[in-house]
């Protein structure tokens, strides 16, 4: 499936607040992205992002992994939904699970992630706190293609900023501000490239 016809179908995977989902959905609605969010996948049915998706009228698959025997089982179900919606690009946005072969094999080169550090530094769920604790002076955001490892895969774009303080919530605020622009720019670049 090529990525060069007019409007693309995006799936967003999220686990929590969903501010990046909101940024992507809003950009689609305003016509800033040549795409629509055709599916939102969430592994926490109570997460706020589920309400955001409902507000935007986005089809949602909210599941509890505990109801499945294996990751392969729920990923097989996700795969069916991605195929049914003709998804061109999967955007992980705070999705706190590794993606396995079931999805990777079918959507190779079409799954991207956003991470709140300058990868390969500070992989994992506590990147901002770890960077602050380490005393880093330059923070940043990375968008990358994924592989089967945590926050692994070829880097597409990064943005950095200098900050000499130790207030993790201020770093997080600045990171989100960057993320909400950078992710849109990268998605637009991917879906419009020939």
What's the CA gap between 155 and 109, in Å, rounded? 12
Closest contact distance (angstroms) between CB of 145 and ligand GRF is: 15
Nearer to ligand GRF, 49 or 103 (CB): 49
Closest contact distance (angstroms) between CB of 69 and ligand GRF is: 27
Closest contact distance (angstroms) between CB of 34 and ligand GRF is: 21
For the record, the structure tokens of 71 come out as 């990751």
Name residue 159's beta-bridge partners: 141
Answer yes or no: are the C-beta atoms of 119 and 151 closer than 8 Å. Answer: yes
Residue with the closest Cβ to ligand GRF?
A: 94
Nearer to ligand GRF, 35 or 92 (CB): 92
The sheet with strand 111-115 has its strands ordered as 60-62, 35-42, 8-14, 89-92, 111-115, 138-145, 155-162
Catalytic residue among 44, 115, 144, 180: 115
Closest contact distance (angstroms) between CB of 16 and ligand GRF is: 5
User: What H or E segment, with its residue span, contains residue 176?
Assistant: helix 168-192
Nearer to ligand GRF, 25 or 114 (CB): 114
- State the residues that interact with ligand GRF by CB under 6 A: 14, 16-20, 93-94, 114-116, 175, 179
Q: Is 126 among the residues known to form the active site? A: no
Nearer to ligand GRF, 116 or 153 (CB): 116
19-29 vs 168-192: helix crossing angle, rounded to 10: 40
Residue with tokens 């080169």: 109
Which residues are the active-site residues? 115
């Amino acid at each position: 499936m090529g990525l060069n016809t007019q409007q693309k179908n995006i799936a967003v995977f999220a686990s929590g607040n969903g501010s990046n989902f909101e940024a992507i959905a809003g950009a689609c609605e305003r016509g800033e992205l040549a795409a629509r969010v055709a599916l939102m996948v969430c592994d926490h049915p109570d997460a706020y992002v589920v309400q955001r998706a409902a507000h935007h009228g986005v089809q949602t698959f909210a599941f509890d992994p505990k109801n499945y025997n294996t990751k392969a089982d729920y990923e097989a179900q996700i795969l069916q939904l991605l195929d049914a919606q003709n998804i061109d690009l999967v955007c992980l946005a705070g999705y706190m699970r590794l993606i396995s072969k079931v999805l990777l094999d079918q959507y190779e080169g079409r799954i991207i992630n956003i991470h709140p550090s300058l990868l390969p530094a500070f992989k994992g769920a506590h990147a901002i706190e770890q960077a602050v604790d380490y005393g880093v002076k330059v923070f940043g955001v990375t968008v990358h293609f994924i592989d089967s490892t945590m926050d692994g895969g070829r880097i597409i774009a990064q943005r950095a900023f200098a900050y000499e303080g130790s207030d993790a919530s201020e770093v997080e605020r600045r990171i989100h501000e960057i993320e909400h622009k950078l992710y849109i720019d990268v998605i637009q670049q991917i879906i419009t490239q020939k």
